[in-house]
Amino acid sequence: MNEMKDKVVLITGATSGIGFATAMYLAKLGANVVGTARHETDLVTELKKVGARGALLLQADMTQEDEVRNMINETIEAFGQLDCAFNNAGIFIHEASLEEHLTDTWHDVITSNLTSIYLCMKYEINAMRRTEHGGVVINNASVVGHRGSAASGIAYTTAKHGVIGLTRQAAITYATSGIRINAISPGPTLTPATSPGIDLKDSASRAKIGQLNPTEQMVPIETIAATVAFLCSDQAKGINGHDIPIDGGQLAKL
């Protein structure tokens, strides 16, 4: 993974959860990391502490096209290129049943989880096509992008199905442009937000998780970050147009 040194990697939603863990992981590999958030944080300091060659935090709303365009322009202005992009930003809310669903909520969830990725890809790919070496785009989907779930909602599940379709279509569109486009589908992931109250040493907790994940474990957040780093690297140059489940075998279960 030494090849990540000096690469320019953009991560949306980089200040918490999967986005933060991935930003830190790539910083440790010596990448130049551009993170986005809606609010100012000390992300740059954290990234430089662990080894980022360069670091930049941009405040941007991924649902606003002008802000997405500016995000890419500022990345190019700062580092001269964009090698990899991890489109991670999104929202999850507990939604009502379909017949009781508020239409405004539908639009918010679809816009935040699907349209936002379309907008990011639009400008990321444009930037990557202007270079000789192309680039890599990775979209954060979900296991509910493959099938329904009682723990999800109608708009969120629909959006994540859309992310996978968008990934596949874009991948074949730009396959000859030196740009690889893939998605990841995490299962229930162990993050600072999800870990309180979960005791993986407790047999009852493991049994409950085991209804989804046959390993009876939540997916370690570092595993998600390592998979993104691998997909960014040339070691994964034969992988294009795929969604990679990171779920401990959840989708293999009937």
Domains of the chain as residue ranges with CATH: 2-252 (3.40.50.720)
pLDDT at 254: 66
* Residues whose CB is less than 8 angstroms from the CB of residue 21 and which lie 6 or more positions away in sequence, other chains included: 191, 221, 222, 224, 225
Q: Give me the residue label for tokens 């690889």.
A: 180
pLDDT at 208: 66
pLDDT at 150: 81
pLDDT at 71: 98
The overall pTM is greater than 0.85? yes
Q: What element of type H or E holds 21?
A: helix 17-28
pLDDT at 169: 98
Q: Which of 25, 118, 123, 156 is catalytic?
A: 156
Q: What element of type H or E holds 185?
A: strand 179-186
Question: Does residue 25 have an active-site annotation?
Answer: no
Q: How far apart are CA 159 and CA 111, in angstroms?
A: 8
Predicted confidence pLDDT, tens digits, the chain (254 residues): 577 899 999 999 999 999 999 999 999 999 999 999 888 789 999 999 999 999 999 999 999 999 999 999 999 999 999 999 999 999 988 787 888 888 899 999 999 999 999 999 999 999 999 988 999 999 999 999 999 888 889 999 999 999 999 999 999 999 999 999 999 999 988 776 555 556 656 666 566 666 777 877 788 999 999 999 999 999 999 999 999 999 989 899 86
Q: How far apart are CA 65 and CA 243, in angstroms?
A: 25
Q: Which two tokens stand for residue 217?
A: 């474990």
pLDDT at 93: 84
